[in-house]
């Protein structure tokens, strides 16, 4: 279950909107749906991983060209680990297992003009969350 932190003055509608964005992100990754993914991000975002910087367009092209996990019957094991909301900004830590990778993403979100969007994405592959079969 996710650890959700929000000051008392934050509305449940903000948490619901952020959670919806995260689930749409998971669905977009699992189904290779670049249209759905693009709608979640601010257009000026840079995606960052240790030693790697990509524009949104570069990343979406990579998603579009890679195999589609849903078509390969890969499991849908994405998880929201934490969401921290402070007024019109939020940080989400999520688990995104894709193919032989176990990504942990930190997604920064801002609420601008009444709408939440992902404005930062940092990610790395980690073996911390691998299943027990791989650890044997």
Read off the CATH number of the domain in which 96 is found.
3.10.450.50
Is 15 inside a domain boundary? yes
Is 132 inside a domain boundary? no
Number of other residues whose CB lies within 10 A of the CB of residue 123: 19
Most distant CA atoms of the chain, gap in Å? 50
Written as six digits, the tokens of 103 are: 């990504």
Residue with tokens 């993914």: 37
According to the model, what pLDDT value does residue 100 have? 87
User: Which portions of the chain are predicted below pLDDT 70?
Assistant: 1-11, 128-136
According to the model, what pLDDT value does residue 134 have? 42
Q: Tell me the residue range of the domain where 72 lies.
A: 3-127
According to the model, what pLDDT value does residue 128 have? 62
Enter the pTM of the model.
0.85
Is 133 inside a domain boundary? no
User: What is the domain count for the chain?
Assistant: 1
Pairwise CA distance, residues 19 & 129, whole Å: 21
According to the model, what pLDDT value does residue 32 have? 97
30 phi/psi in degrees, rounded to 5 = -65, -35
According to the model, what pLDDT value does residue 31 have? 98
According to the model, what pLDDT value does residue 127 have? 75
Name, in order, each residue with C-beta under 8 angstroms of 40's C-beta and a sequence gap of 6 or more. Answer: 21, 24, 25, 28, 117, 118
């Amino acid at each position: 279950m996710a650890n959700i932190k929000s000051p008392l003055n934050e509305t449940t509608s903000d948490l619901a909107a952020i959670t919806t964005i995260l689930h749409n992100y998971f669905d977009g990754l699992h189904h290779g749906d670049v249209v759905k993914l693009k709608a979640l991000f601010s257009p000026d975002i840079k995606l960052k991983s240790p030693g790697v910087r990509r524009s949104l367009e570069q990343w979406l092209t990579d998603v579009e060209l890679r195999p589609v996990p849903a078509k390969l019957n890969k499991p849908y094991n994405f998880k929201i680990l934490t969401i921290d909301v402070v007024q019109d900004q939020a940080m989400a830590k999520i688990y995104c297992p894709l193919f032989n990778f176990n990504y942990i993403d930190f997604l920064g979100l801002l609420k601008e003009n009444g709408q939440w969007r992902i404005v930062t994405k940092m990610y790395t592959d980690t073996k911390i969350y691998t299943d027990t079969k791989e650890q044997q």
